[in-house]
Amino acid sequence: MLSGMRGGLFMGLLLALAAVLFVDVQDAQAEYGDVVINNHSDGAGMRPVIFPHWFHRVRFACKVCHADLGFKFKAGGNDINMVKIIDGQFCGACHNGEVAWSVENCNLCHSAKPGTPTQVHESTIQKLAQPVGAPQKK
């Protein structure tokens, strides 16, 4: 009886772990705190942009983007377009082929499912990224 309960608990833990791993592998595209930017993309026939905030936060101080580059603290709160990016503003301050890969890699930024609204994406459960052609995690 007791060992049966333990076995059940153990199986439960295994299943829970499997579920976590499954979700992690399946939905690794969208990490906690990713920002979807879609002020213009849908209208221009491009997939919306997923900005992986955490990925950048571990590499740069907040100040680099939010003071020096002038990013406002609001999802969708910066009127970004490709002319500005190619001119070296916003994402273009780094995605210029020097600090990071350059703007030709459209799909690495425009990676969300069409129609995904501007938002801060809080979980790994929802799927933001379009599977086909989306960038690999690493």
CB of 25: closest distance to ligand HEC in angstroms? Answer: 15
Q: Which is nearer to ligand HEC, 21 or 86 (CB)?
A: 86
Q: Which is nearer to ligand HEC, 80 or 128 (CB)?
A: 80
Q: Which is nearer to ligand HEC, 4 or 45 (CB)?
A: 45
Q: Which is nearer to ligand HEC, 20 or 28 (CB)?
A: 28
CB of 26: closest distance to ligand HEC in angstroms? Answer: 16
Q: Residue 121 forms beta bridges with which residues?
A: 34
CB-CB contact of 70 with 93 (8 Å)? no
Residues 95-126 as b or e (16 or more Cβ within 10 Å = b): beeeeeeeeeeeeebbbbeeebebbebeebee
Rg (CA), the chain: 19
Q: Which residues bind ligand HEC (CB under 6 A)?
A: 35, 37-41, 44, 46, 48-49, 51-53, 55-57, 59-60, 62, 64-66, 69, 71, 73-78, 80-83, 85, 90-91, 93-95, 99-101, 103-106, 108-110, 120
Rounded to 5 degrees, φ, ψ at 34 are -60, 145
